[in-house]
Amino acid sequence: MPLPVPFSPSAVVSALRAAGCVFAEDEAELILATARTPEETAGMVDRRAVGLPLEQVLGWAEFHGLRVTLEPGVFVPRRRTEFLVDQALAAAPDATVVVDLCCGSGALGAALAAALDGAEVHAADIDPAAVRCAHRNLAAFGGRAHQGDLYDALPAGLRGRVGVLTANVPYVPTAEVALLPAEAREHEPLAALDGGADGLDVLRRVAAGAPGWLAPGGCLLTVIGVRPRA
Ligand SMILES: C[S@@+](CC[C@H](N)C(=O)[O-])C[C@H]1O[C@@H](n2cnc3c(N)ncnc32)[C@H](O)[C@@H]1O
């Protein structure tokens, strides 16, 4: 049932709890702190109640100490992917050119740009909504976002110059997409999740193309799911 306006903070908690939100108090606090009007709060509660990921409802996600702007329909950056950023910074602390392929919201590129003062940062994604978010998230650091299929999106002048190449690609095997939580299945694009029959379709293409774009000594960092052996 929609939240009637006006309402008390405890009514927000109750509405979220009734919708099955396990962390109703925490979510209510974030919604109340983010919404600018009671109507906006009610709208956020309604969207959360029908299952949208909290970060898409809020319009932002926390990632590596940054508040990353997020649109509905764009992959929610996972906190566990902060590890990839830390690994990239450890491997190439002085990198001057960074590319984040399959960038989604641009969270990885923004985190790297924030940490690598003055680095030239490019992010790319095939999805226009993701590129819009990445553009907003990178602009504060002078970074750029491009739209297109993997390396096709990048300016040719980056060839052979990339010190850090990150790529959190879609890696869920097609047959396992149905096993993902509803929040992902129903509210994140299939193209952000489905990695083909063995989950490696996109990653194979990223790995095959990397040597042409990396600088000597540059590195490619990625993420992959590992299935326990039966
Ligand atoms: C798992 S999400 C990761 C997003 C972001 N890197 C993050 O960690 O939050 C994968 C992203 O890859 C993008 N993608 C899928 N296939 C692509 C392709 N062929 N070229 C560029 N981007 C692609 C999707 O649109 C999605 O945004």
Q: Residue 122 maps to which CATH number?
A: 3.40.50.150
Confidence check: pLDDT of 33 > 80: yes
Domain count for the chain, please give it.
Answer: 2
CA–CA separation, 164 vs 181, rounded Å?
Answer: 32
Q: The domain containing residue 85 runs over which residues?
A: 79-222
Reported as a single tens digit per residue, the pLDDT across 61-95 is 999 999 999 999 999 999 999 999 999 999 999 99
- Are residue 38 and residue 92 in the same domain, yes or no? no
Task: With respect to residue 182, please indicate whether it lies within any of the assigned structural domains.
Answer: yes
Q: Which atom of ligand 1 is nearest to the CA of 193?
A: 1
Q: Which residues of 142-162 are buried (b: 16+ CB within 10 A; e: fewer)?
A: ebbbbbeebbebbeeebeeeb
Residue 58 domain-assigned?
A: no
148 and 200 co-located in one domain: yes
**Ligand 1 centroid vs 41 CA: distance in angstroms?**
30
Q: Could you tell me if 45 and 83 lie in one domain?
A: no
Distance 170 CA to ligand 1 centre (A): 6
Atom of ligand 1 nearest to the CA of 150: 20
Do 31 and 144 fall within a single domain?
no
| pLDDT score, position 5 | 77
Domain annotation covers residue 214: yes
Q: Are 110 and 180 within one domain?
A: yes
- Asked whether residue 141 is domain-assigned, the answer is yes
Q: In this predicted structure, what is the pLDDT of residue 122?
A: 98
**Confidence band for 1, pLDDT divided at 50, 70 and 90:** low
- What is d(CA 177, CA 61) in angstroms, rounded to the nearest whole number? 23
92 and 187, same domain (yes or no): yes
- Do 110 and 158 lie in one domain? The reply is yes
Average pLDDT over residues 94-114: 98
Backbone angles phi, psi at 150, to 5 degrees: 40, -120
Q: How much distance in Å is there from the Cα of 103 to the middle of ligand 1?
A: 5
How far apart, in whole angstroms, are the C-alpha atoms of residue 177 and residue 193?
7
Does residue 133 lie in a domain region? yes
The reply to whether 182 and 85 lie within a common domain is yes
CB 145 within 8 A of CB 121: no
Would residue 211 count as lying in a domain? yes
**Same-domain check for residues 20 and 91:** no
Give residue-wise pLDDT tens across range 166-225: 999 999 999 999 999 999 999 999 999 999 999 999 999 999 999 999 999 999 999 988
Substitution site in 56, 74, 126 for ligand 1 pocket (most atoms within 8 Å of beta carbon): 126
